[in-house]
């Protein structure tokens, strides 16, 4: 997994990345029959957008991420909410096999969930590495959750204007879907099947929202690797150029499609 979301980028991530609707958590709980005695793993947990709400539904959560600043902010958020049943682990997707030693000889996970970070990972190997970690008796498995298209790839005039502005600034074409497109779900589904997962299901939870200009900027800064983030003295001009490019006044409408792809081990 690529690491580049430290320092201020992690701060923006904690403050501006959208969370997940309760309906998403309900569907995960229903499919995997999650109960109070279960344990789940959140790989690439970031600052806890999935791990924290999941902790209210199970006995324990392992939040795993390769970026120390992400984990620091996740711990702070857990402390503020008095959530005490999450173990924060520094590690990448390549470290998943080592979790077997932490979990003990008997497989025990009810679910492993991977959010927006999956596009940074070597997903074929990850899915195979996860298989031995699930609870005995079946029922456990993987959930791939994509939390809507990137801000610059949405079907809205303001999003298209944002993309054009960013492409001019960074001198590159922005086409990567970050794992949120239908072709990505198809690719992940095939990899899950190849790894030995079954009963694959795909569903979408949709909702609408409105974003202030500051939320657009904060969300954008949360997605730019630290080495490419505009320096503090250049941000006012950078933000002014974006605001000038965006049509209309805030708030900016956003239609979010949260896609869920799930599969059972065995």
Per residue in 147-168, pLDDT (tens digit) is 999 999 999 999 999 999 999 9
pLDDT in tens, 170-210: 888 888 777 778 889 999 999 999 999 999 999 999 999 99
Residue 105 — pLDDT band, cuts 50, 70, 90? low
* Domains in the chain with CATH codes: 7-150+176-209+254-265 (3.40.50.150)
Sheet (strand 109-114) strand order: 86-90, 60-65, 39-43, 109-114, 141-147, 252-265, 197-211
The predicted model scores a pTM of 0.93
Residue 141's nearest CA partner among 167, 165, 107, 93 is 107
For the chain, give the percent of residues with pLDDT over 70: 97
Count Cβ atoms below 10 Å from residue 154 Cβ, excluding itself: 20
Confirm if 47 and 65 have CB atoms less than 8 A apart: no
Q: Which of 101, 88, 93 is nearest to 132 (CA)?
A: 101
Within 8 A by CB and 6+ apart from 246, the residues are 158, 161, 162, 213, 216, 252
Q: What is the mean pLDDT of residues 75-104?
A: 92
Average pLDDT, the chain: 92
Give DSSP secondary structure letters for 107-144: --EEEEEE-GGGGGS-HHHHHHHHGGGBPTTS--EEEE
Averaged over 11-27, what is the pLDDT? 95
In the block, residue with structure tokens 């994509």: 146
């Amino acid at each position: 997994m690529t690491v580049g979301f430290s320092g201020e980028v992690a701060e923006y991530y904690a403050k501006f990345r959208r969370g997940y609707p309760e309906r998403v958590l309900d569907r995960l709980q229903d499919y995997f029959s999650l109960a109070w005695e279960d344990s789940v793993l959140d790989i690439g947990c970031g600052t806890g957008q999935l791990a924290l709400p999941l902790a209210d539904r199970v006995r324990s959560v392992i939040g795993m991420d390769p970026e120390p600043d992400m984990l620091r902010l996740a711990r702070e958020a857990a402390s503020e909410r008095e959530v005490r049943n999450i173990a924060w682990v520094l590690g990448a997707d390549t470290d998943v096999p080592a979790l077997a030693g932490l979990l003990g000889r008997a497989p025990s996970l009810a679910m492993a969930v991977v959010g927006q970070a999956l596009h940074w990972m070597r997903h074929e190997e990850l899915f195979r590495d996860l298989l031995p970690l699930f609870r005995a008796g079946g029922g456990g498995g993987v959930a791939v959750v994509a939390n809507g298209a990137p801000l610059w790839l949405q079907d809205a005039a303001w999003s298209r204007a944002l993309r054009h502005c960013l492409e001019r600034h960074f001198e590159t074409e922005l086409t990567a879907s970050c794992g949120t497109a239908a072709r990505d779900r198809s690719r992940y589904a095939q990899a899950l099947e190849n790894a030995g997962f079954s009963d694959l299901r795909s569903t979408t939870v949709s909702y609408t929202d409105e974003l202030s200009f500051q939320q657009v900027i904060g969300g954008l800064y949360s997605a730019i690797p630290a080495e490419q983030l505009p320096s503090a003295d250049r941000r006012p001009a950078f933000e002014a150029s974006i605001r000038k490019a965006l049509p209309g006044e805030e708030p900016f409408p956003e239609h979010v499609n949260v896609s869920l792809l799930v599969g059972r081990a065995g």
